[in-house]
Structure 1
C-alpha cells in the first residue's frame, strides 16, 4: 500500500505551484516593472519593518496582560470584577479598531496630554487585542469540567485558589493556540496605525508609492514583509494545536 505524501511535501508543492502561477501572471501583465526606484527607498521599508515589530511586541504584551486580567476577572465570581470585565470586552469588541485608534489619538491623547502616535497606537491596539484574549481566557476556563471546581473547593481551597492552582493550568492548554493566533491578527491590525502617522510598514509603503508612483512595486514588498512577520506565529499556532491534540489523545481513558 502506497504511503500518502507528507503534509510538508504537499505544502511545498502547493507553494511552488502558487508561486509559479503568480510569477506567470505578473510576468504577462502589460506593465513596466521598475523595482530599482523602490529599492532606493529600502531604508524607509526597513524603518517601517522595525516600527511594526516594536508596535506589535508592545501591543501583544499589553493585550496579553489586559486579556488575562479581564478573562480571570470575568470568571472570578466577584460581581464587580465580572461586570467591569464585561464592559471592557463589550466596548472594545463592539466598535471598529479604526474608530478606537482615532478616539485614542484625538480624544484620550489630548486629555492625558500625550502626543506620541507610537505610544497611543500601541495602547489602542493592545486594549483591542486584550478584549479578544479576555474572551479566549474566559471560554477556556469555562470549558474545564465542573467537577474540577467541585473537587478543588471540597478539598478546602478558596475559589481563587481553585482557579489559579487547579482550573486555570488545565484551561491554559486550550487557551494558548487561539491566543497565539490573536498575536498574528495584532501584527496585521498594526497597519491601521498609519492613519495617525505611525511610520510602520503600511505608512512606509504609502510614502514610497507617493514618491515613486510605483504602486505595485511599493505594495508587493509590503505584503511579503507582513508575511515574514506573521508566518512564524502562524506556524507556531499550528504546532501548538497539534501538540495539544496529541497530548489529549495520549491521556489515559
Structure 2
C-alpha cells in the first residue's frame, strides 16, 4: 500500500514538472511574438466562455450516455445469432464510420430534423454525436466480447447457464474491463468533436471563441482559454476512467 502511494505521488510530481516545463516553453515562445496582448478581453467576455463551457458539458454528457447505450446495443447485436440484428448493426457501424462527422451533422440538421419538425440545435447535436460515437463503440464492444476465451463459454454452459446468462455474468463484465481504455479515448474525441456543432449555431466553447475573435480580433486571447477549457473537461474524464479501471482490476484479482 505504501509503495503504491509513493508511486502515485511520484507520478503526480512528474506530471507537475512536465506541465510547468510546457508552460514555460509556451511563455518563452509567445514572448518572441510581436503581438499586443490584452487578457482583459478574455475577462470581458467571460460570460460567453462560461455559457459555452456549460453547453459543451451538457452536449458532451448527453452524447456520451446515449452513445454508450447505442454502442453496447450495437456491439451485442453484432455478435448476436439473430441475422437481422447482426446485419442492421453492421450497416449502422459501416454507415457512420464511413462518412465524415461534418456531413452527418448537416444531414441530421437540415434533413432528418426538418422532416420530424425538430428545431433544437443542441438536441440535434447530441443525437448526431451519439450515433457517430456509438458506431465506434459498437466495434470496441464486439472486439471485447470476441476476445474472451471460448473455454469460458463452454465452462459456463456446462454449469447450466443459458446464452443470455453467460453473456450477462461471464462475458460482458470481462469485455467491459478490456474496452475501458479505447472507449475513454472515444469519449475524449467526442468532447473535442463537439466543436463542430458551432456550424449549426450551438453556442458551445468553439462558437464562443469564434464570436470573441470576430468581435475583438484578439485571436490568442480567444483561443488559448478555449484550449484550457477543453482540457478542463477531458482530463478529469481520463483520470476518473483510470481510477475505475484500476479498481475493476483489483476486484478481479
TM over 0.5: yes
| 1:39 maps to which of 38, 43, 67 | 43
Q: How many residues align?
A: 247
Partner of 1:220: 224
- For the residue of structure 1 that corresponds to 2:69, the secondary structure is helix
**Within 2, Cα distance between the matches of 1:40 and 1:130?**
38
Deviation at 1:10, TM superposition (A): 2.0
Give ranges in structure 2 of 5+ residues lacking alignment. 1-5
TM-score between both structures, scaled by the size of structure 2: 0.91
Partner of 2:20: 16
Conserved in 2, the CA contact under 8 Å of 1:181 and 1:233? Answer: no
2:173 is equivalent to residue 162 of structure 1: no
Matches within 5 A, 1:1-253: 6-242=10-246, 251=253
Conserved in 2, the CA contact under 8 Å of 1:76 and 1:160? Answer: no
TM-score between both structures, scaled by the size of structure 1: 0.91
What RMSD, in angstroms, separates the aligned Cα atoms of the two structures? 1.9
Over 3 Å counting, the alpha-carbon distance change for 1:6 and 1:38 in structure 2 is: closer
**Within 1, Cα distance between the matches of 2:42 and 2:230?**
17
Deviation at 1:6, TM superposition (A): 2.7
Deviation at 1:241, TM superposition (A): 4.7
Deviation at 1:87, TM superposition (A): 0.8
- For the residue of structure 2 that corresponds to 1:187, the secondary structure is helix
Deviation at 1:71, TM superposition (A): 0.8
Give ranges in structure 1 of 5+ residues lacking alignment. none
